[in-house]
Structure 1
């Protein structure tokens, strides 16, 4: 009997109290309620009732609703001052509890982290304050175990087998008994399943479930990231069976009743390495403005609600793009085949047809299912060169040139409208890895956005706005792409920083996007513009998916929803279904509306949280792979010098981003001059006590690659010439700076993972690592032999 089975289940045919009734009984008591008292209060005399209520109580314990005390009684966590949260491990062995109810994180010392693993949901009790002012917590119970399959490297030392987790937030090594090795060899990357949880006296025990291969094998970084972040990468038999039943080409029956746009000169414009083409565009003059058609692959026709394909697409949430590799949301037969708008092939699509006036305002819009035939597969580079007047390309794409010029004219209008409403634009540089035949990195090259990128971006934004307005107009329900306004705390810190520079953010207590844009324009020529832009970006929130339309702050739009990429984003597929549902309710005389579906409010809220989560999961995984590849590349450049910019300042040094490669590395204070250094977290600088040399975000300097740690994905730099780095302040200014830091003593507690704050003791270069923790240091991962005695005891 599960905890949710009730009175009339045939297995027991007895009545037991519900969760609400049990909670009410415990709440009514002044102290925890004993198990025997529960039986008496509810008059549970039957042995089968005892079994049922015991299971339900255990389930309520597991979910954190009740706590089982040492006195064999059940109490309420909130009355015991217990809090529920997620464990966030740190590479140095300590950790934090991120409270599910919100609020400041609680600190878990090393000895408490030995009882849990990163990702566990736990009940904790506050236990005091440490020497650095952090509120400590004691683990009462693990409510829900985190990831039970852990990716790591397999080692054998003195007859003891261990798996060292690749995720540095998991500080415990996993002991692998001899019978659980399953063919793994020393140094290989493996997946290990935890079979015994850690305790005060023993490490966690695991069994090897999968051997990924040699540590430095080509593509290993992707295999590790996929498994470490729990990204689904295999198609189950139900999905494969459904895909097998889909035809290779669009049938005449599928085309019937749709609007025929096969003669319209729609084209796709994507990157050179793109394989799935989910959007095509065409526009023509319309009075003083333009009429724009954005045709999007009709994925909802093939991926219907509650099907095996839909279940898998929902689980994945998004395609995950790694360098030269992709884990798609949909099988290749759809993503690169039937749903990809390949040139000169009939394809089903959903069309947003829009009228835009001469001031870039959306006047009219309509949506309908259609069939199209792309007239060309163009790239951003080709379109840019065509618009620049490349004679060879203009001759090759002679028929498309007039339409591309129309798109450029439309873009000029939309660009002006974007500036008028004040949408925030950041000038960031991305990079691309160039691999050789052995999949080793030959070089890292910058990726420059040209006008063709921006044309497509503005067309897609317009279609997304039209889709959001269409749903809102007809009182439908979908997931909006919401970017909320910055919160007060972040704004306060940013304003304080600007004040130190003699700058001001307009807009009073509620700045608008235009105020941020005006600031960026104001500082564009300043030498510290990089610093200001970085901190401005950090003051903004992360965009999420939600059924509540709260606008998009960054784009300065009142309504915005993702419509244009249903091949690779699940929220777009949901929006297509809602649009079809609305069209059907309007009794449009069109076929092709079979994929329509309407979700309830509660279900849509759950979908929003899930899609936001899968998006973050994909971002984390791709960032991890990028970090690995950058470290691998820099291993061949130890000793080389590069120009860079200070990107982050901490109390133990500062990170430098190489200007050409966009690779970050740490200049540790132990590699600076031997003196005391003071750190100001609010103003983001380090200052030497005697030299008065200041290092700030945005400083340009030259560094030398000192070392690379691939296992921990760390790159260490040192200054090529410290005398020319940073800026030496006058004694008077330096005294003012340190006085301000002293005045801010005690500010901002509990920053997870940060090693220092303003007002703390200065860091000194000496024989010990600056910022040394007061917590017991975890055993070194490079010295497994010291743990042999404990490991053998665990195996027994």
Structure 2
């Protein structure tokens, strides 16, 4: 029996002492493998049941305090003795998987054996098993931290009276055997949602019960329903929310006018896309009395906080959603339609409560000063980007139609000309991405696709919103109270190294040393803007960037080259903006040093750092899930559209290159399809990760990002949302 150096201390504390925490940790650290409690009992010479129970209690307490890890195979290990990581499981259709962490550059390999202990979407604890050579390191499952509890969507089948569902998402590499359903006569092939009975245990059959029958024939509406359930996006309002919304008057209470600045005489305009669904911002500008001194710009944002007070059922529902979700044929709003499309929609010729950001600009368009206040406006016109752009460019019909607004519209044009020369973020990185727009038919399927071209009217409104966000960031930053900043971190060093190697291959250089600034990226794009490699370089540069997130820790916005940035301009559709409005109101009332009864204080609120941190993390997640859900539906629509194009010969450009082939963006439709490496039968091709290209071993033929090709549509898999292409060679 070994001796615990802390035995005397333990003997003073306990009548029947057991090994100390320090000694248990020491033994686990020096062990070459995982140790079960039974082996620990042998090691410590523990034989009686009372001491065994005491040891079990101590081990559980140490597990709670993070001093030991209890693994899935009922063993213990010291955290220090392993390279332990936390990550999200990414399943693969062939049974193996990967572990994606926030700290490692590459995903870790999870073998098929390891995947028997977890499923796609689980958050697990694992230890890294280092490998040598070119193979990636692998992960060994230790513990399930957060099971993936989402509903799994799949098709229902019966084979020899055995009922089962095959998941649509092939990353769930298993059948779900059904032991319970909402009704017995479900049609074979129906699309259903399934809840797992329990988390899959090694070598056990996966069981679940059907909770909903979604339909049998796929269509756009069903694709949306599937996306909502797959990503756990709320789409229905509770009774409490409906009751609260019902009680909100459609008429503005005269009390709400109290202490608001009346701007109804100012010709504010809303400028949006033709298919815009909410109008939460309006703009107005004019030259200062002395034109040489610059401009005054007003950005009016719908005062959502006046209708959505903190900690009410409506507020909690808005927080749960986090953001509005936009599908091609439908929007799932963050707030009920009575608020989002009525009371807080800045419709023409209707009085609306707003939070105003009034900014003084130099004649170069630079932000000199600003002030925020509650106001009331009446929008004088609802314009589209294309209408404003055409008016600026002399469209006779539109200039005649809006003759009484021409002076104010021309003022917007003059200010945009200044923004074009001296943007608010002169050193920021601006990407000119191809944005496809879909025209849907009566069945909500794609009828045609065209490219959405950004004109100067788009850029003008974008600049106005950035200015308002910057002014709001500067305002709240002075007070040091917790707020949600919109952070965009600089690219990781490994990504910078990879980008530089790629650019060197093309003969270009990214300046800035080990830590380039935004201006270096911006200058690079400007220098190659007229080169054929421009789109390819922009694509690779964009992929090297990190994802923007919400956080109370102000880390600045790298992409815009700003030291601080917040979201102020869209409280109808983004919860962080609503949070900011409440904080700004609190600070305004605090500055005025007036009693709560004299102001609309019920719509102001201050948050603790802990609350803001939690809300920021949640809103970052809801933003990503909204993007993923929208992408799922768009991918289905694209596949449905391309299904009719099987056999067609089309021109395209390589948009991405991987180890298993390359994706080609079809010029006519802006849709990507895969040319699998197995279809390149003229040679053996290997992937050059440095140059992002496939190279033929014998022929030295290359397929590189940006190459123009002619391809044939071979097949379309609607379930997996995949389009397969092959190279077309004329005979």
Q: TM exceeds 0.5?
A: yes
Q: 2:425 and 2:625 mapped to 1: Cα distance?
A: 35
Q: Say whether the 8 Å CA contact 1:154–1:164 is kept in structure 2.
A: yes
Q: How does 1:780-795 map to 2 (within 5 A)?
A: none
Q: 1:81 and 1:225 mapped to 2: Cα distance?
A: 36
Q: 506, 512, 532: which one pairs with 1:507? A: 512
Deviation by residue 1:607-663 (Cα, 9 ceiling, x = unmatched): 221111111111111111111110110000001122111011123221101123221
Q: Say whether the 8 Å CA contact 1:281–1:293 is kept in structure 2.
A: yes
Q: How does 1:556-595 map to 2 (within 5 A)?
A: 556-587=561-592, 591-595=599-603
Name which of structure 1's ranges 582-591 and 479-488 shifts more when overlaid on structure 2. 582-591
Match of 1:634 in 2: 642
Q: Say whether the 8 Å CA contact 1:64–1:123 is kept in structure 2.
A: no
Match of 1:479 in 2: 484
Deviation by residue 1:556-586 (Cα, 9 ceiling, x = unmatched): 2222111000000011011111111110110
Q: Say whether the 8 Å CA contact 2:95–2:173 is kept in structure 1.
A: yes
Match of 1:408 in 2: 413
Q: Say whether the 8 Å CA contact 1:27–1:76 is kept in structure 2.
A: no
Match of 1:285 in 2: 287
**Alpha-carbon distance, 1:148 to partner:** 4.3
Name which of structure 1's ranges 659-668 and 152-161 shifts more when overlaid on structure 2. 152-161
Q: How does 1:757-768 map to 2 (within 5 A)?
A: none
Q: Say whether the 8 Å CA contact 1:26–1:75 is kept in structure 2.
A: no
Match of 1:250 in 2: 252
Q: 1:464 and 1:23 mapped to 2: Cα distance?
A: 56
Match of 1:776 in 2: none
Match of 1:155 in 2: 157
Match of 1:386 in 2: 391
Name which of structure 1's ranges 400-409 and 212-221 shifts more when overlaid on structure 2. 212-221
Q: 436, 446, 453: which one pairs with 1:448? A: 453
**Which 5+ residue runs of structure 2 have no aligned equivalent?**
1-13, 29-34, 45-49
Q: How does 1:715-734 map to 2 (within 5 A)?
A: 715-721=723-729
Structure 2 length-normalised TM: 0.89
Are 1:614 and 2:611 matched, yes or no? Answer: no
Q: 654, 674, 678: which one pairs with 1:666? A: 674
Instruction: Check 1:100–1:466 CA distance in 2 against 1; reply closer, same or farther (3 A cut).
Output: closer
Structure 1 length-normalised TM: 0.82
Q: Which has the higher contact order (CA 8 A, sep 6+)?
A: 1
Deviation by residue 1:108-130 (Cα, 9 ceiling, x = unmatched): 11232133211222333445649
Are 1:30 and 2:27 matched, yes or no? Answer: yes
**Alpha-carbon distance, 1:275 to partner:** 2.3
Are 1:695 and 2:695 matched, yes or no? Answer: no
**Alpha-carbon distance, 1:528 to partner:** 2.0
Q: Say whether the 8 Å CA contact 2:147–2:199 is kept in structure 1.
A: no
Partner SS state of residue 403, structure 2: coil
**Alpha-carbon distance, 1:209 to partner:** 0.3
**Alpha-carbon distance, 1:232 to partner:** 1.1
Match of 2:32 in 1: none
Deviation by residue 1:297-345 (Cα, 9 ceiling, x = unmatched): 0011111111111111111111010102111110111101111111111
Name which of structure 1's ranges 65-74 and 326-335 shifts more when overlaid on structure 2. 65-74
Match of 2:656 in 1: 648
Are 1:321 and 2:326 matched, yes or no? Answer: yes
Q: 611, 615, 623: which one pairs with 1:603? A: 611
Q: 70, 75, 95: which one pairs with 1:93? A: 95
Q: 2:583 and 2:213 mapped to 1: Cα distance?
A: 44
**Alpha-carbon distance, 1:399 to partner:** 2.1
Q: Say whether the 8 Å CA contact 1:318–1:569 is kept in structure 2.
A: yes
Q: 2:230 and 2:141 mapped to 1: Cα distance?
A: 25
Partner SS state of residue 110, structure 1: coil
Instruction: Check 1:678–1:217 CA distance in 2 against 1; reply closer, same or farther (3 A cut).
Output: closer
Name which of structure 1's ranges 191-200 and 278-287 shifts more when overlaid on structure 2. 191-200
Q: 1:196 and 1:520 mapped to 2: Cα distance?
A: 52
Match of 1:214 in 2: 216
Q: 2:249 and 2:58 mapped to 1: Cα distance?
A: 49
Q: Say whether the 8 Å CA contact 2:191–2:213 is kept in structure 1.
A: yes
Are 1:430 and 2:435 matched, yes or no? Answer: yes
Q: 1:665 and 1:337 mapped to 2: Cα distance?
A: 41
**Alpha-carbon distance, 1:280 to partner:** 0.6
Match of 1:682 in 2: 690
Match of 2:124 in 1: 122
Instruction: Check 1:215–1:588 CA distance in 2 against 1; reply closer, same or farther (3 A cut).
Output: farther
Match of 2:203 in 1: 201
Instruction: Check 1:419–1:602 CA distance in 2 against 1; reply closer, same or farther (3 A cut).
Output: closer
Are 1:711 and 2:713 matched, yes or no? Answer: no
Name which of structure 1's ranges 194-203 and 698-707 shifts more when overlaid on structure 2. 194-203
Q: Say whether the 8 Å CA contact 2:153–2:192 is kept in structure 1.
A: yes
Q: 1:707 and 1:481 mapped to 2: Cα distance?
A: 42
Q: 1:549 and 1:441 mapped to 2: Cα distance?
A: 42
Q: 1:251 and 1:616 mapped to 2: Cα distance?
A: 37
Name which of structure 1's ranges 670-679 and 258-267 shifts more when overlaid on structure 2. 670-679
Instruction: Check 1:191–1:131 CA distance in 2 against 1; reply closer, same or farther (3 A cut).
Output: farther
Q: 1:119 and 1:300 mapped to 2: Cα distance?
A: 35
Deviation by residue 1:68-117 (Cα, 9 ceiling, x = unmatched): 47998865444466544322212332111234665653311123213321
Instruction: Check 1:488–1:73 CA distance in 2 against 1; reply closer, same or farther (3 A cut).
Output: closer
Q: 463, 488, 496: which one pairs with 2:493? A: 488
Q: 2:90 and 2:593 mapped to 1: Cα distance?
A: 52
Q: 2:75 and 2:722 mapped to 1: Cα distance?
A: 49
Q: Say whether the 8 Å CA contact 1:229–1:617 is kept in structure 2.
A: yes
Match of 2:521 in 1: 516
Match of 2:6 in 1: none
